[in-house]
Amino acid sequence: MAYSYDMTHFEQQLLDIVTEAKLSFRQKSRNLALAADSLLPLPLVSAAVSDAMTAGFICDMLEGHAPYKPRYVLPDYERFLELGSDYLELSPATDIDEALNHLLILYHHVPSVTDLPVFLGYLDGLLLPYVDGLTEGDIYKKLKLFWIQLDRTFPDAFVHANIGPSDNIICRVLLRIDAELKQIVPNLTFMYDPDVTPDDLLRQVTSNICECSKPHVANFPLHQATFNDTGFGIVSCYNVLPLGGGANTLVRLNLKRLAEASADVEDFFTNQLPHYSSLMFELIESRTKFLHQQSGFFESFLITEGLIHENRFAPMWGVYGMAEAVNCLAATEENTGSYGHSIWQNELGHKISASLSDIVKRTPVRYGLNNRALLHSQAGLSIDEGVTPGTRIQYGCEPDVIEHIRAIAAHHQYYSSGISDILTIEETVKANPEAMYQLCKGALSLGLREFTANVASNDLVRVTGYMVKLSDIKAFNESGSRKNTTILGAEAAEKTGILERKPRVISRELEAGFSQ
């Protein structure tokens, strides 16, 4: 349609959104809201922070100029089911139908950076009290309908559920349903505890990975030790946060840019890392101050009914570009090895992670968990070009899967709010699922906080931590997608090289440390 008058840039932006045929009604509504948010001024920061953001050293993760909701929220769903809600006019749940209905209602009122819930709770623990007297067939039918409704109602791959570590009928049935439906929603983490989880349940979990690249497998004892009495949940991609709280913001540091600005390794540690870390903390304080003091979020019914607590929120202190940073710093020392393949480079990476952890642990923040931020290996954005997510090895450069795990395992001890490495396994593993089981147990025994694997022939794959279907990406340019995150997967495939991951055959899983 032709227009006879000039429009401002903002007006044109709005018109482009409302006339984009590939966007659904709800996708247009969200994009219009983001456009309006972009007109607001950023929370006040110094010129040094602003310059660092413009130059690409630090990033606010596109959370919006006026943070009026936390990035991730993890309500106490158990309390909600037991007590009901005055605000939502719901009595306590008394059976499985009421429990599922209550949860679906509350999910619509739990915000996040995506406007959709990123944490659905420990579903087996939540639902077990309500299945007495039901047959497995009854449970299967109800949970399958629930699983389908989640995917159709919340079409966003950052919606995330937890199950485990105990063996129970809900856990088993949900694993069965997830393998059958192969949906992107919900993303799923199984909590593994070697003292609690039976081997045959873990085998079902790793067989599921062979079928649909889900679930993540989390090292439950490691996470439990980190969060102690507050409890924790895993949300969105693989983000580990306090139950009854969450993440008020996530900012990230581009280690690649820091390395490029460094004269050598000593300059990196002595000057660049401390300087830009201080700017990260300034940005965190500015954004969280607005959220906690001005937005009004912490006066919502989620607070007044005890479903979340303000003191259980913490900033996520993210980093990415470790691979490029290490390789760049190695070049200043005339070292020709590469990250993931060289002992020297790998140890330098581990030293960087240890230094980051020390900085975060000794620096107070006003709105943190025990007045501290949480270190996070950030999975990147779909628009990142030439920089690898978190502490991962560069796509297409991955070594043998066992050496891959050994190269990155030492990083995991430092990243309390989440770290993930995606192993891409050749499809022959489907004929030998025991290999996936042994690989998973071995990786967790070496200290990985999380085991995550794609199987090369599966349509359902992980991008950075969230799920997409390759068939959806293929069709997206022509017809769009009802799933909000397909566009992110399509961008990532085009710009970040995620499809260049090398599928590896699991051939050494019985080596020492990988057999149980």
Q: From residue 252, give the alpha-carbon distance in Å to each of 9, 90, 102, 391.
A: 29, 40, 36, 13
Which phi and psi (to 5°) does residue 504 adopt? -120, 140
pLDDT for 487 beyond 70: no
User: 């199987």: which residue's tokens?
Assistant: 455
Assessment of whether the complete model's pTM goes beyond 0.85: yes
Tens of pLDDT along 398-412?
999 999 999 999 999
Q: pLDDT tens digits, residue range 247-301?
A: 999 999 999 999 999 999 999 999 999 999 999 999 999 999 999 999 999 999 9
pLDDT for the residue 3: 38
User: Alpha-carbon distance 296 to 68, whole Å?
Assistant: 7
Q: CA 510 → CA 131, 208, 427, 439, 447, distances in Å?
A: 40, 21, 19, 8, 17
* pLDDT higher than 60, residue 500: no
Rounded Cα distance between 84 and 86, Å, is 7
Residue predicted with more confidence, 458 or 452: 452
pLDDT band at 516 (very low <50, low <70, confident <90, very high): very low
Q: What is the pLDDT of residues 71-129, one digit of tens each?
A: 999 999 999 999 999 999 999 999 999 999 999 999 999 999 999 999 999 999 999 99
Q: Per-residue confidence at 491, pLDDT binned at 50, 70, 90?
A: low
Give me 311's structure tokens: 């003191």
The two structure tokens encoding residue 56: 């690409």
Burial of 292 (0-12, 13-18, 19+ CB in 10 A): middle
3-state secondary structure of 453: strand
Q: N- to C-terminal Cα distance for the chain?
A: 67
The DSSP-derived string for 208-267 is HHHHHS--EEEEHHHHHHHHGGG-EEEETTTEEEETTEEEEEEEEEEHHHHHHT-SSHHH
Q: Which residues pair with 456 in a beta bridge?
A: none
How far apart are alpha carbons 412 and 420 in whole angstroms? 8
